[in-house]
Chains A and B, each alone.
Chain A
Amino acid sequence: MVGVTVAVVQFGGSNCDRDAVRALEHVGVDAERVWHEDGLPADAEGIVLPGGFSYGDYLRAGAMAARAPIMEEVREAAADGVPVIGVCNGAQIGSESGLTDGAFTTNASARFQCEPVHLRVERADTPWTAAYEEGEVIEVPIAHGEGRFEIDEAAHADLVADDRVLFRYCDADGNVTDAANPNGSTDNVAGVLGERESVAVLMPHPERATLPDLGRSTDGAGILRAFA
């Protein structure tokens, strides 16, 4: 066990918080669930915004949780360099709270989609992707109704110019195609970095592709090892 305690922030309606703790512990990271009203523990050396349906996706997915007081603490910690990752609903919360650019909105299919997808690792020099090679293809599942990445043209150009796209949806061979884009995301974007590389959000679920017993892939473990 390493000397890092990761806070997995639980909102009303979060439902991947326990999975995240299990997966983090599997990769040797000490993690605890933190109820949002209790605030961030002073010794939190990492933060996970887990998946789920916080506040019933009222208004927009993530909109309510993003305005919860604990998110002010999360933004301050992120600005201080504490690693923060938002997964699925956590990604929606992260983008709604301004940790990352763009927005996640209704899938082009207008359906909830729960399926394995392939991701191309676009940067291998970040804490989240140090376990991979640039261009490597990993398999991680998605489970969302509002995962279509939208961003205006100028902000998208900045995102690409700053090399802040972390993962793109691709086929099994790593080709970034429309057919491999599950939800109509702009530029096949599945995950992005914030202003600092220590902040990232992604719609796919690395914690569901970490425990060997769960089935088809353990490719997500490398993302969670950022905290180790």
Chain B
Amino acid sequence: MTAYTATVTVRLKRGVLDPEAETTQQALERLGFELSDLRSADRFEVDLDAADADEAADRADEMAERLLANPTIHDYEVAVAER
């Protein structure tokens, strides 16, 4: 077994309204920053032991499917690194 950190990034699908990101962008603009867009995402870092990186990725993938993301509104990606 090897120790891995699986990083799961969950973001709204393109086209799904993100009022929190819009509000954050407005706040940045109020502070005088110039920007053309802002998107937000949730990142989960999952420490786990697995036989190899593929197994670690598969398990993190299932975590995203079953809880971390809501497939109706979210896309997600998984990146695995040895810890």
Q: Do A and B come from one complex?
A: yes
Report A's interface with B, CB cutoff 8 A: 59-60, 63, 67, 95-96, 101-103, 105-110, 148, 150-152, 155, 184
Contacts A59-B67, A63-B67 given; does A106 touch B72 at CB 8 Å: no
Within 8 A of A (CB), among B1-32: 16-20, 22-23
Selected contact of A150 from candidates B16, B20, B22, B67, CB within 8 Å? B16
- Tell whether, in the assembled complex, residue A106 and residue B20 are in contact, meaning their CB atoms are under 8 Å apart: yes
Residues of A with C-beta under 8 A to B23: 110
B44 nearest in chain A by CB position: A59
CA distance A29 to B23 in the complex (A): 44
- Tell whether, in the assembled complex, residue B17 and residue A148 are in contact, meaning their CB atoms are under 8 Å apart: yes
Selected contact of A110 from candidates B19, B68, B72, CB within 8 Å? B19
| Range class of the B interface residue count | 10 to 19
Q: Among B16, B66, B70, which residue has the most Cβ atoms of chain A within 10 A?
A: B70
Contacts A59-B67, A63-B67, A67-B67 given; does A102 touch B72 at CB 8 Å: yes
Does B46 interact with chain A (Cβ within 8 Å)? no
Residues of A with C-beta under 8 A to B73: 103, 105, 150
CA distance A170 to B18 in the complex (A): 24
Contacts A103-B73, A150-B73 given; does A109 touch B19 at CB 8 Å: yes
- Tell whether, in the assembled complex, residue B72 and residue A151 are in contact, meaning their CB atoms are under 8 Å apart: yes
CA distance A67 to B68 in the complex (A): 11
Residues of A with C-beta under 8 A to B66: 67
* 16 CB < 8 A contacts A-B: A59-B68, A60-B70, A63-B70, A67-B67, A95-B72, A105-B16, A106-B18, A106-B20, A108-B17, A110-B19, A110-B20, A148-B17, A150-B16, A151-B72, A155-B72, A184-B19
Distance between A157 CB and nearest chain B CB, rounded to angstroms: 14
Distance between A83 CB and nearest chain B CB, rounded to angstroms: 24
CA distance A150 to B70 in the complex (A): 11
11 extra interchain contacts, Cβ-Cβ under 8 A, other than A59-B68, A95-B72? Answer: A59-B67, A60-B70, A63-B67, A63-B70, A102-B72, A103-B70, A103-B73, A105-B16, A106-B20, A109-B19, A150-B73
Distance between A161 CB and nearest chain B CB, rounded to angstroms: 18
- Tell whether, in the assembled complex, residue B19 and residue A96 are in contact, meaning their CB atoms are under 8 Å apart: no
Instruction: Please provide the 5 A-B residue pairs with the shortest distance between their CB atoms, ordered closest to farther.
Output: A110-B19, A103-B72, A110-B23, A106-B19, A103-B73
Residues of B with C-beta under 8 A to A59: 67-68
A111 nearest in chain B by CB position: B19
